[in-house]
Structure 1
């Protein structure tokens, strides 16, 4: 459509007109290049299972290069009309996507193969049983019913050495307590014999960074580990085989197997979420996303139908298992972030290690209120996150200390009973033996495990 006004310009007359961008660019290129058709060769689309590096998947984003085709060459060229706003068609003929990694598509180049080595003196006893068999040749009964009665330990029984960096968590095998699992910042997990030779039995390698939490399933046949390499791995305790891997690309801070549903576990993540996984399918089945900071603790309560979580957002939330909406939310101005937790054997309370150098107690029944009468003080935890543990009879509360002590309090009176000087390094892990009356294991920042009686 010609414009109304015509005007004289130095080169003659000019008439105003309207043309589309596309027509203009086509005309412009016809003048500039003489032709608007060029030969271009396309890069390979790459392998859809590779995320980065050589041969990575480019798909519709593969580049074109302009080439001068040789006469008689068999190379495949595409004659394309070059336009600036070219939309490449997405190619649907790519190879089928390989099977997903467990839990998610995220693929870490650092993830190495998992290995496990038996390093004990003998793998099988005279009846062909492995270390999973609960020993019966001891003066203490490790199976069957048991009425706990605990005492405060006084002396050092044994020192376990294998780890080269800080111990992050220790766990006795559930019920019998004849095996001990330790996780460390040196990325290794170790299984120890609590009786007989008290030797190192098996090592589990496969994480590439510090392992920050471990947890057995209810029978002790498997355990889950979480690490700063962003992976959670499920291991077979007996064979050392890695059964499954889970990752979202975020760091897990705490993992807990559900004692009532052995094939499910919860993970508290650095991105504020709590994730529920099914270990059989490897899929995430639920996501609890209400915290405002990294999740530090997960504690099952009410016969494992509910759980309580705490986070760096200085709050406590209680949840029904499987329902992603909190049933209770507690955030008071005087609260500090709670970094470790331990349920009371009665099932009515949970003790939390609070960052203001005290252990606080909350009820784990319907009200989830803080028990203001119960506060355990006198130890120093600033800057560290020492574990808190309650004795199996519910009588004593114990905790590590950044000065290298293990502290014991009376549950009822909240008075400190005793401090053991466990070493120079801060004590980060403390656990009571599930069956023996006064046995406690501690793990410190220098990687040494000590067994007390």
Structure 2
């Protein structure tokens, strides 16, 4: 019967220890793969050496069929206080020191240091265990569902806070220097001399400077940038669904064209900082657009078509919108929600005007009766949405436009009766019956009117294409300027230069006069 291990019973010191190790490994390997059923007999003599002491123990057994297992061998070693040889290698002094130094060291590395890996048989190779530190790094701890949901909610709130901060930065006009690019990094040399010195008297322009004809539809409004350093920029909105920004002082070129609306743009307003444009139109959409990037900072879907817009003079985060509805809505750009509503028994709001202080505002409507106008002009409390008065104008004409005087507590209203009337901004908003500015024609057009910045002149467009200039104090017609071939829809005085105005007409043409 073949034996798994054949040891020499001789005690000669010339025995090859390495040969015995390999045989011993083979024996242990075969024993592990035999399903604990030995088909061979251990040798009659087995020698166990302890490292460095030369201790020998002889075990005698019969040569007949002997059944033994690993437990009997271990029990014998414990009984006689004998250190058994390990299954892979002999522990000499050097190797024993290495194991005591680092118990987590790779066994293969230890065997390489001891110089005993060269003659290992393939069956002796074992799968190496991973380093404990590496294994720990690859293990992901379990996080309960409740904590995961809480963490996701916190991340969402942080992202919302960051987006709100960015939005407030844009609205509050405190954008960092890297955003001051393109349109807002230039100050026109033509208006620099007028920035520090306030002009004394506005002059009526005499000659045409630029003629800009890129709009394909009627121009509904034109406005200069409210920031004096960038007042060379002119905003125009048209019913061709576009909004444009022009260099109307030096070159007369179109600098930006925004196509964010799918319907006619009825009104557009600069923000107070001059970095955004608020626009609304017949597509029932409200857009707050960044003028540099052309992207919509905020977009609102309204329930009705928009005809007029107005920013609050005390809080640029809030604006009013009116249109084909009996309700005027107040929107907050920070929460993107309606914060207040002002309801009246009307069909359409034509214009919105904030009074000095920003606590009250006026709306003009299309509500007229046979002999008098009921609710043609309505005064509102901005905070409480209470109706202050609706019996301000008692004539049977609608009012498409209103303008506030820059220095005195009065405002003017354009009527479809081909004249303008003057009202007080203080309660009960009495009409001045001694002043009536007439000489131009409206005839159903939404003709605009504006005061000069010194308050001495009042200009109005006309349905025959002319621009009429009135003396504010005595309401007399000073001069008529033949500006356009079609109806002149709007006129705007330059905020810095005393003798520059811009006009627009129903054909989409914009002209600059000086």
Question: Same fold, TM exceeding 0.5?
Answer: yes
**Equivalent residue number for residue 300 of structure 2:** 246
Q: Aligned partners of 2:420, 2:273: CA distance in 1, in Å? A: 30
Contact 2:392–2:431 (CA<8 Å) still a contact in 1?
no
Alignment deviations for residues 119-154 of structure 1 (CA, whole Å, 9 cap, x no partner)? xxxxxxxx9842213515336436457345201111
Instruction: Determine the structure 2 residue equivalent to 1:368.
Output: 429
Q: Report how far residue 172 of structure 1 moved.
A: 0.5
- Cα shift at 1:278: 0.3
Q: Is the 8 A contact 2:321 2:328 kept in 1?
A: yes
Matching of residues 102-251 of structure 1 within 5 Å: 129-135=181-187, 137-138=189-190, 140-141=192-193, 143-144=195-196, 146-176=198-228, 177-251=231-305
SS at match of 1:330: coil
Q: Tell whether the 8 Å contact from 1:269 to 1:295 is kept in structure 2 after alignment.
A: yes
**Secondary structure in structure 1 of the residue aligned to 2:205:** coil
Alignment of 1:416-427 (within 5 A): 416-427=477-488
Does 2:331 align with 1:270?
Answer: no
Distance 1:332 1:320 in 2: 18
Q: Paired residue for 2:442, among 367, 381, 384?
A: 381
- TM-score, scaled to structure 1: 0.69
TM superposition score normalised by structure 2: 0.61
CA contact (8 A) 2:392 2:429 kept: no
Matched residue, 1:437? 498
Once superposed, what is the RMSD of the aligned Cα atoms? Answer: 1.8
Shift, 1:332, TM fit: 5.1
The 1:347–1:270 alpha-carbon spacing in structure 2 relative to 1, beyond 3 Å, is farther
The separation in 2 between residues aligned to 1:148 and 1:276, in whole angstroms, is: 37
Q: 2:194 & 2:435 partners in 1: Cα distance?
A: 32
1:334 corresponds to: 395
Using the alignment, how far apart are the partners of 1:243 and 1:349 within structure 2? 35
CA contact (8 A) 2:393 2:431 kept: no
Q: How much has 1:426 moved relative to structure 2?
A: 0.4
**Bigger CA radius of gyration:** 2
Higher strand share: 1
Structure 1: stretches of 5+ with no match in the other structure: 1-126
Alignment check: 8 A CA contact 1:301 1:347 kept = no
Q: Which has the higher helix share?
A: 2
User: Alpha-carbon deviation of 1:243?
Assistant: 1.1
Provide the residue aligned with 1:122 in structure 2.
none
What is the CA-CA distance between 1:347 and the residue it aligns to? 4.6
Deviation at 1:420, TM superposition (A): 0.8
Unmatched runs of 5 consecutive residues or more in structure 2: 1-178, 369-375
* 310-319 or 410-419: bigger deviation: 310-319
Q: Can you list the C-alpha shifts for 1:91-129, whole angstroms capped at 9, x where unaligned? A: xxxxxxxxxxxxxxxxxxxxxxxxxxxxxxxxxxxx984
1:259-408 to 2 correspondences below 5 Å = 259-314=313-368, 315-330=376-391, 333-408=394-469
Which one scores higher on RCO, CA 8 angstroms, separation ≥ 6? 1
Per-residue deviation, 1:194: 2.4
- Structure 1 counterpart SS, 2:440: coil
Query: Residue in 1 aligned with 2:118?
Result: none
**Structure 1 residues 360, 332: closer, same or farther in 2, change over 3 A?**
closer
Distance (Å, rounded) in 1 between the aligned partners of 2:394 and 2:314: 35
